[in-house]
Amino acid sequence: MSLNQTLAVDRIHIGFFGKTNSGKSSLVNAIANQQVSLVSEISGTTTDPVKKAIEILPLGPCMLIDTAGLDDESALGKMRIKRTEELIETVDIAIIAIDAKCGISELETNLISIFSKNAVPYIIAYTKSDLYDISDEISPKGILLSAKTGFNIDTLKNALAAITVSGNANSVIVSDKLKANDVVVLVTPIDESAPKGRLILPQQQTIRDILDAGAIAIVTKETGLERTLSSLKNPPALVITDSQAFGFVSKIVPQSVPLTSFSILMARYKGFLEASLEGVKALERLKGGEKILVSEGCTHHRQCNDIGRTKIPAMVQKFTKLNFEFEFTSGQSFPEDLSGYALCIHCGGCMLKEREMQRRLRRANAQNVPFTNYGVLLAFLTNTLERTANALDLL
């Protein structure tokens, strides 16, 4: 996959934060070496976050994110600040832009505290040095620079490149459980919800990870699974299925063959599988009438038989023989207040960074709301959870 094809979720996200007119947008433009953000002396020029994909060696593919100023006190400004605050806990690296003449204030001190609390590496950038006669000793922790003249922009880039960003909770999806030449069968149903002409992201990522292990990936639809298995000389080392096909697939795959799903592997990859296995137990404690939140990380067009909005609610109510009030979120939207929910059911999070998934999990834990995953839930509802959970330990 080329740089331009690298998915946003796989890029290192670098956020630029600070007051209005602190030089954030100029810094983004200077690092990208092109006009990404509109620069103006008028406060509040940057409204919604502006993003630009670039590469910074040796970090690799990155996403620069210019944000609105955090000191805009207008009614509209408060809405912009809310959007910016949602990004604060999700970035991998933060740059705090401070007008060199103004120096650090309580706002930037609070930002430093937030980033430190969330273990987010940050760099303090003292901007507009060309406008003032200020010593390079302005701060032992910051970089004095000028986006206009280019002074110390390379120093800032080198500081970014020197930062080590932690990867996913599991650095691989499934390859650590495979040996060279193992055969893995992937079951990928093609129905009305499947994207035309391509595989969904978890399927693509899993295939690549299997190949990286030197193993062999065989892809089939659920209707061709029985023939695929019978054509193999030896049983496969693993079968990975779309979670929606658990019930069908588990009847075909011999009990001796480990079975799991793409969604369960994504939960493992993003670091919330154990929480999901515990959270799904809440289904047995529900009494009916409670609110259940169903959240997806992507914003694809909903089909009439959508997994999150149609199938999962129907299956939950059929299994429990109870009625519930379901609410739905997608994309970057996720409630601050979860206290009114009896359960949160989340997708695999393939379109969300691990840090964002962990943030959502922490929020649920802090409010004592059980948190589970599509794949884990569907395995539970089809009586295949023990088998699919054990598969990751038995390989």
Please state the rounded mean pLDDT for residues 218-234: 97
CATH class held by domain 175-266+385-394? alpha beta
* Residues 320 and 283: beta-carbon distance below 8 Å: yes
Give the alpha-carbon dihedral of 73, 138, 144, 58, to 10 degrees: -100
Residue 302 has pLDDT above 80, yes or no: no
Q: Please list the residue range(s) of the chain that carry CATH number 3.40.50.300.
A: 3-161
Peptide bond into 58 cis (omega under 30): yes
pLDDT band at 192 (very low <50, low <70, confident <90, very high): low
- Which H or E element spans position 125? strand 122-127
For domain 274-381, give the fold: Rossmann fold (3.40.50)
Residue 277 has pLDDT above 80, yes or no: yes
C-alpha of 113 from chain center? 23
- Give 209 or 55, the one with higher predicted confidence: 209
Q: Please list the residue range(s) of the chain that carry CATH number 3.40.50.11410.
A: 274-381
Q: Please list the residue range(s) of the chain that carry CATH number 3.40.50.11420.
A: 175-266+385-394
Maximum CA extent, the chain: 78
- Whose tokens are 């599509």? That residue is 374
pLDDT band at 394 (very low <50, low <70, confident <90, very high): very low
pLDDT of residue 139: 53
What's the mean pLDDT when you consider all of the chain?
Answer: 87
* Residues 260 and 202: beta-carbon distance below 8 Å: no
Burial class (CB in 10 A: 0-12, 13-18, 19+), 347: buried
- 3-161 is classed CATH 3.40.50.300: yes
Please state the rounded mean pLDDT for residues 23-39: 79
pLDDT band at 168 (very low <50, low <70, confident <90, very high): confident
pLDDT of residue 171: 78
pTM of the complete model: 0.79
